[in-house]
Amino acid sequence: MSDLGKKIIENTPTIPDREQRVLGRGTSLVIMGAVLVAALIVSFRLGRYPVSVKELLGILFDSMFPGRIEPFWSDTQAVAVINVRLPRLLLSVIVGAALSSAGAVFQAAFQNPMASPDILGASTGAGFGAALAILLGMSSAFVTVSAFVMSMLTVFLVFFVSSFAKGEKVIGLVLSGIMISSLFQAGTSFIKLVADPGNKLPSITYWLMGSLVGANRSELVFVIVPMLIGFVPLFLLRWRLNVITMGDDDARSMGVNPGMVRIAGVSCATLLTAASVSVSGMIGWVGLVIPHMMRRVVGSDYRYLLPASALGGGLFLLVVDDISRCAAQGEIPIGILTAFIGAPFFLLLITGRNRQ
C-alpha cells in the first residue's frame, strides 16, 4: 500500500473502545466464513429429498470429476443437488452479499445510515422491466435480462437528471432517484392494472415480492460477470471509503478526490443491486440492516466492514431462503420474510444505540 494510503488509514477515525473487542476483526471474518460454509452444507441437506453429507460430497465430487467414484446416491438426489439446490443456494449467498455490500457503500457515499441499495431507483427499475416482460409473455430468461437492463437504464436516467440539478450534487442525486423511482413505480402499477388477473398479474405480484424459486445455472452465469465488475473495484477502494466518511474537506486535504470515489462506489454498488434484483426480485432490508449489524462485529473500518457485510449478507439471505422453502408447504416469498426479520432487528439496533 502507498504511503498516502497508510497515512489515510492511520488518520481514519475508529469506533471508540467498545472496540477493544474480545475477538479481532480478522478472526471475526474467519469465523463468519466458516459459519457460512457450515450453513451451506446444512442448506444442501434441507428439502423434499434428504441428502446426507457423505452423499452430498460424493455428488459434488462426481460433478467435477465424472466417473472417478462409484455412485452410492440415487439419480433423484443428484438432480436435486446439482440442478436445483446448488444454483439456488449459490444465488442466495451471492445476492445477499451483493445487496449488503451495496448498502454499506451507499451509507458511506451519502454519509447517511439510512441509505439502502434502492436509493437510486435500481430496484424499482428492475421491477418495471420484469413486470413489462411478464406482461408481454416473455420467457423467464428474458424477464431477467429485461429487469437488469431497465434497472441500469433507471440509474442512468437518475444520473442524467441530477446533472442538471443546482446546488449540492449528492442531494440532487438522491432527489432525482426519488423522482425517477416514483415514475417507474407508477409504470409498474399501470402494468399490474392492465395485466390478466388470472395469469400474468399473479406472476408479476410474486416476482415483485422477491423469490429464488426456479433459480438455475443460466441465471447464476448471467449475474457472475456484473457481480465481479461490481465487487472487485469496491474491495480495491474500500480503504478510500473510510476517507469520504470523514467529509469532503478532510478527504481533499489527504489527497483523495471524494467526488470520484463516490461516483465509482455508487456505480459499482448500483451494478450489484441491478444484477441481484434481476434474478431475485424485490428483496428489501438486507442492504439496510446487515451493514449496521456488521458494524457491531468489526467496527466502521471499511477494510473489514465491506467483507463482513458480504459474508453477513450472504449468510442472512441463505438462512432466510431456507426458511422460505421449508417453513410451509408452499414457498414464502423472501421479500416478506426479510421484512418480518429485518424490521425488528433494525428496531433493536436503533433502541440499543439510543440506550448507549
Max mean pLDDT among 21-25, 182-186, 240-244, 350-354 falls in 182-186
For residue 244, with 0-12 CB atoms within 10 Å meaning exposed, 13-18 middle and 19 or more buried, which class applies?
buried
Q: Report how far residue 88's alpha carbon sits from residue 125's, in angstroms, rounded to the nearest whole number.
A: 23
Residue with the bigger pLDDT between 293 and 3: it is 293
Determine the pLDDT at residue 17: 39
Mean pLDDT (the chain) is 86
CA distance 296 to 317: 19
Is residue 192 a contact partner of residue 204, using CB atoms and an 8 Å limit?
yes
3-state secondary structure of 23: coil
pLDDT tens per residue across span 63-81: 888 878 888 888 888 988 9
Q: What is the pLDDT of residue 353?
A: 54
C-alpha cell at 188: 409498474
pTM here is 0.88
Per-residue confidence (pLDDT) for residue 158, from 0 to 100: 92
In the chain, where the domains are located: 24-355
Using one digit for the tens of pLDDT, what is the confidence trace for 239-256?
A: 888 888 887 788 888 888
In angstroms, rounded to a whole number, what is the distance separating the alpha carbons of residues 129 and 127?
5
CA gap 49, 169 in Å, rounded: 54
Query: What fold is seen in the domain 24-355?
Result: ABC transporter involved in vitamin B12 uptake, BtuC (1.10.3470)
